[in-house]
Structure 1
């Protein structure tokens, strides 16, 4: 395998393929509002921190739609480590991810 900028080529191609497939699905913010109900329990609370392990939970309202899609795909695949987010993202389809990203990118602006 070839290395490019510290990454193996197949890993880069897989990431591009995952991002492309989810971005090909158009998100609907209203459907996303309903689907994001569980997300709001952590990501809509100002200055929220988890008790154990202790970490800051980011607010995602107003975040870039493509970034949210990329993050959720990475959590779903396990390439971005966080057990709670991984478990939540596993249940999401590409359409769910696009809808949730459309919702969060539309709020908090």
Structure 2
């Protein structure tokens, strides 16, 4: 039952995210790959999670992101939603996503 709810919520979010092209899409800049729109739905264009169960990806290590997405795609790493999202991604798509999110500057502040 919980899995059904996650799939319905994800489908709704993907429909909302598909309405707008990724930032930079018009000029071929960062985020130009149209498949990144599905990432932005949960992880945000700014790399800051928009849904409670999604991690922030801004500034994340590029090679870590490549490995994680590759592992979701192959099934070596399991997550119901991420496995489904990574399945259609090509090696180039994975590299684009990793480069995009790792390239977002983050600022760490002491509390």
TM-score by length of 1: 0.60
Q: Which has the higher contact order (CA 8 A, sep 6+)?
A: 1
Residue of structure 2 equivalent to 1:30: 30
Q: CA deviation at 1:79?
A: 1.0
> In 1, distance between residues paired with 2:65 and 2:37?
16
Higher strand proportion (structure 1 or 2): 1
Offset from partner CA, 1:20-54 (integer Å, 9 cap, x none):
xxxxxxxx9625564311111111254731xxxxx
Report the count of equivalent residues. 76
Residue among 75, 79, 83 paired with 1:86: 83
Checking the alignment, whether the CA contact within 8 Å between 2:65 and 2:98 is kept in structure 1 is yes
Distance 1:92 1:46, change over 3 A: closer
Residue of structure 1 equivalent to 2:43: 43
Gaps of 5+ in 2: 1-27, 107-111
Q: CA RMSD in A?
A: 2.3
